[in-house]
Structure 1
Amino acid sequence: MSDWNQYWDSLIDDHKMKADIVSLNEQDEIRGYGKEHTKKICQEIYDDFISAKKGHKSVESDFLTTISGLKNVHSFSSRVKEVDSLLLKIVRKRKEQYADKKYRDISAGTYKTVLGDIIGMRVILHYQGQWQDVHNDLISEFPEPKEYPAKGFIPHREGEVFIAEEPVAYYAPGDDISQFEGIIKAKPHKKGYRSKHYIISFKNVYIELQVRTIYDEAWSDCDHTYVYKNEANPNNLALSQLTGILSKVTNTASDISEMMRSIYYNRYVSCSGNRIAVDNEGDEKMKEIITSLSKSLEMLNRFYSDLEK
């Protein structure tokens, strides 16, 4: 017990969440859940998760084998959630969504069905335009239901694999969303995040699968390391502004690479000697890229001009 107390206190102190725990304790006592309810359920979840981790690693490996044949993939990556990350997420969810019973009453018996990212997978593509081929392959491998529930995931069915929540394509401001119509639900992302998200029921475990380009992954990795869930960092203000600039730059780089792929397959331009002719569609694409680069430079100049020297 003393080891757990030391671990818990260190985890909460290191992530500056003591105020959140105090607030949750007050709300829990009002509801009659008893003292230090969050700490109690987190210890129970900790014990259950540690005992189940070997099984999760096996499911992770089997799932990776299952999707290894996807076409047009640059690389795959996967992980089983670390226990620190799991417990911190539970604290945040209870604090931010206390009114939602599934988070308020989360327990060792329910957390695996409430959280969809105990196992996480990433499918990294070379180019933005390849997402639909991967989407079609996923739908073929993991069938969609006739309809999705308004909230939560479709319950596991023994021996079946399927998509358990409506897939979502996150897109950046200014993106052409007509590509998603009738195929996948589209949602704007304030940070300019581009990715397709799927929750898949596989061997009675929910797996979160994200599909994105190498450019999206570069930005996401940097943002996740230095900004996301790092509000306590003393330089978070600067980092938050820089991640917005980086998102714009990497999205533009992704658009240029997609244009190069299209040009390779004889779209947008035609070359003759030293001359390059562009068609109307290519002209519009170039204008969009120039505008995006200009906005990136404006954002960077604004950031620089606001610095106190």
Structure 2
Amino acid sequence: MEDINLDDAIKLIKDDMHSYELLHDKFLSYINRDPDLKNLVHSYKSRFKDLDHLKSKIERKNHEDSMLPEDEQKGPITQDNIQERITDICGIRILHLYIGQFEAIHKALMKYVNSNELALFEPPKAYTWDPEYSKTFEALGVSPKLKESFYTSVHYVFKPRADSNITCEVQVRTLFEEVWGEIDHTFNYPEPSKSKVIQEQLKVLARVVGAGTRLSDSIFELNSLQDAE
């Protein structure tokens, strides 16, 4: 693969950073002020991608893409497509207590899409290895995806309006899933661990986390039934 000068691409992102910041602040206002989200969201995290490291990430992604079979390649990330290919310059992570809250969170987020206050860059995806939860996500119109690592989270990519190139990735997950995600990130980012033992132990931990998620959901469901009596 020929060398690609990415300096102009990085400059384009820097020049538009204020637009990413505006979208970020707008979304946080929904989390902090929307009465439904205020009751559902336990906590949240937000960050902007370190532009000093963005160039090396793009070079790595371009190299990985060039190693794929030709019919699977997306082509290199350049100045012309960086905003379409790098959609997590702005990132927000929403954490909630149990999976039973997800439907209400999803509907609260989609309310802003349906009213054209936000737009979706692409359909949301639910990364999960649990077949039962896959059915839950499918029923809401969220496409389930399986990652070999057992990564679990629902991903949205929002734009301020349909014709905008500015995006913000929003992840929604339970606190149990956040614990696993942080541990996995420690060992598998930016490069995956080469230890097969660690990778297998992370999958075991994912199953333990899944059991915790199911148990917490059951506890809240039982409490709701008792309150209804």
- How high is the TM-score relative to the length of structure 1? 0.62
Q: Check conservation: 1:121, 1:209, Cα contact below 8 A.
A: yes
Which residue of 244, 251, 254 maps to 2:210? 251
Distance 1:180 1:55 in 2: 31
Could you say what secondary structure the match of 2:62 adopts? helix
Aligned pairs for 1:142-291 (under 5 A) are 142-143=113-114, 161-183=118-140, 184-202=142-160, 204=164, 205-231=166-192, 236-266=195-225
Cα pair distance change 1:55/1:185, threshold 3 Å: closer
Q: Return the alpha-carbon distance in structure 2 between the equivalents of residues 260 and 111 of structure 1.
A: 45
Equivalence map 1:1-309=2 (5 Å):
27-28=1-2, 37-38=3-4, 40-41=5-6, 43-68=7-32, 69=34, 70=37, 71-98=39-66, 99=70, 103-104=75-76, 106-143=77-114, 161-183=118-140, 184-202=142-160, 204=164, 205-231=166-192, 236-266=195-225
Q: Please give the alpha-carbon distance, in whole angstroms, between the structure 2 residues aligned to 1:109 and 1:176.
A: 38
The Cα shift of 1:219 comes to: 0.6
Count of aligned pairs: 215
What's the RMSD between the two structures over aligned residues? 2.6
Residues 92-134 of structure 1, C-alpha deviations (whole Å, 9 max, x = no match): 3212223577542x32342112221111111111101110101
State the one-letter code of the partner of 1:133. A
Query: More relative contact order in 1 or in 2 (CA 8 Å, sep 6+)?
Result: 2
Secondary structure of residue in 2 paired with 1:129: helix
Identity of paired residues, percent?
A: 25
How far is 1:85 from its partner? 4.2
Say if 1:170 and 1:189, in contact at 8 Å, map to a contact too: yes
Q: 1:164/1:91 Cα in 2 relative to 1: closer, same or farther (>3 Å)? A: same
Runs of 4+ in structure 1 over 4 Å off: 99-102
Q: Is the alpha carbon distance of 1:263 and 1:190 closer, same or farther for their aligned partners in structure 2, counting shifts above 3 Å?
A: same
Q: Distance in 1 between matches of 2:55 and 2:43?
A: 29
| Structure 1: stretches of 5+ with no match in the other structure | 1-26, 29-36, 145-158, 271-309
Contact 1:76/1:121 (<8 A) preserved: yes
252 and 174 in structure 1: CA distance in 2 versus 1, 3 angstrom threshold = same
Cα deviation for residue 218 of structure 1 reads 0.8
User: What is the CA deviation profile of residues 221-278 of structure 1, one whole-angstrom value per residue up to 9, with x for unaligned ones?
Assistant: 11112223333x6x633332222122111111111111111111227xx9xxxxxxxx
1:199/1:207 contact within 8 Å kept? yes
Task: Tell me, in whole angstroms, the C-alpha distance in 2 between the residues paired with 1:160 and 1:255.
Answer: 34
Rounded to whole Å, the distance in 2 between the matches of 1:160 and 1:140 is 9
- Whether contact under 8 Å (1:129, 1:258) holds in the other structure is yes
| 1: CA distance, partners of 2:202 / 2:64 | 24
Q: Which residue of 2 aligns with 1:306?
A: none
